[in-house]
Structure 1
Amino acid sequence: MRWLDVRRHSLTKKGAARGRGSHLSADGITLARFIGSEAGPYERVVTSSSPRAVETAVAMGFAVDDTMEMPSGYVSEEIPRHAQWGWTDPYRRLAGIIQEGRAAAAVAETLRVIWVDTVGDVAEDRSALLVGHGGAIELALVACFPDASHDSWGTPFAHCDGARLGFADGHFVSIEFHRAPQSPVPPS
């Protein structure tokens, strides 16, 4: 079996300091370092091309092997921005949206393929890390596990939340969620 660890990027700067791509805040770096201290090693590390995703992987202590454009999980009229936070059973709702077969289903499939490609070339019994974004991660998880008991998956991904996915015979076969401490940020 191969493993894919997926993490949402860490905490970002707010207000005028946010900048293009939302760079990590000092608390975000501390949180990513804490998460990284218990993660890895990774044979391959892929992030979205956004600075906050790259900075998260680096702050975790891992060199980035590749960056790529990853579509947003927020699909106009189907999944409004941050809507998953207000939904009861967000993963079950996303599964229903994907089953409708419209634009969100295509985005979910694109993300699933990126995840498969990220872990597909990793050696047996080794791991890859993918750092992405809230909204997209939830949609991709449902696409990777369409028949799972989605109502048991809990809340959407907060900063640095993650999941470890087992990959065998060309598809994902297991999932284990890893929730990051949100407040206070662990000491470095």
Structure 2
Amino acid sequence: MLSAEGVRRARHHGESLPEAGYVLTGPDRRHVETAIAMGYAVDEMVPWPSGYLTGVVEHHDQWRWERPFERYADLLESSRSLRGVAQTHLAHWLRAVGRVDRGGMALVVSSGGSIEPVLVAAAPDGDHAGWGPALQHLQGATLNFDGDTCVSVTIRR
């Protein structure tokens, strides 16, 4: 459950974002609560798998890593299970993008540990070092696509 402060922050953050043509959330109640507090109706909630995998990525590891996006790039190469999770999420993201008009926005609300590896999977040749630290609450990224190909990633803090 979001706290009153979390609702206030989500509401404030949502005021700076454009209208979304499609809103997709992860399976946690707080994902849906965040989207609603931001001012968006949720179009779909998906029970996707966690990005935390025992022996690969433990809960909140990404916040302890000095270069989390580079670390995820390495892990995506070496871990079939993490690669599978990231591809599952990415397929949902692409489906959401496919539901908006050209130039429109799809909004995905998820959690840390699930967002970072998908960003790397979406842009395997991206500037992972330049993306900085792991994402915190109400942080994310803007991805631009040409069909199913991610052509740019801008980290939003």
Q: Note whether the superposition's TM-score is higher than 0.5.
A: yes
Query: Is 1:168 paired with 2:146?
Result: yes
Contact 1:165–1:175 (CA<8 Å) still a contact in 2?
yes
Aligned to 2:54: 76
One-letter amino acid of the structure 2 residue matched with residue 48 of structure 1: G
Aligned to 1:67: 45
Question: Which structure 2 residues correspond to residues 27-42 of structure 1 after superposition, within 5 A?
Answer: 27-42=5-20
Contact 2:123–2:150 (CA<8 Å) still a contact in 1?
yes
Distance 1:108 1:129 in 2: 17
Aligned to 1:138: 116
Distance 1:50 1:169 in 2: 29
The superposition leaves residues 47-71 of structure 1 with CA deviations (integer Å, 9 ceiling, x where unpaired) of 1121100000000001111111121
Distance 2:57 2:114 in 1: 10
Deviation at 1:116, TM superposition (A): 0.7
Aligned to 1:123: 101
Aligned to 1:110: 88
Aligned to 2:132: 154
**SS of match in other structure, 1:177:** strand
Aligned to 1:18: none
Question: Percent identity over the alignment?
Answer: 39
Between 1 and 2, higher relative CO (CA 8 Å, sep ≥ 6) is seen in 1
Match of 2:27 among 35, 40, 49: 49
The superposition leaves residues 114-156 of structure 1 with CA deviations (integer Å, 9 ceiling, x where unpaired) of 1111111211111111100100000100100111121111111
| Matched residues, number | 157
Contact 1:116–1:171 (CA<8 Å) still a contact in 2?
no
Unpaired segments of 5 or more residues in structure 1? Answer: 1-22, 180-188
One-letter amino acid of the structure 1 residue matched with residue 30 of structure 2: R
**SS of match in other structure, 1:173:** strand
**SS of match in other structure, 1:143:** helix
Contact 2:75–2:82 (CA<8 Å) still a contact in 1?
yes
**SS of match in other structure, 2:136:** coil
Question: Which has more radius of gyration?
Answer: 1
TM-score (norm: length of structure 1): 0.81
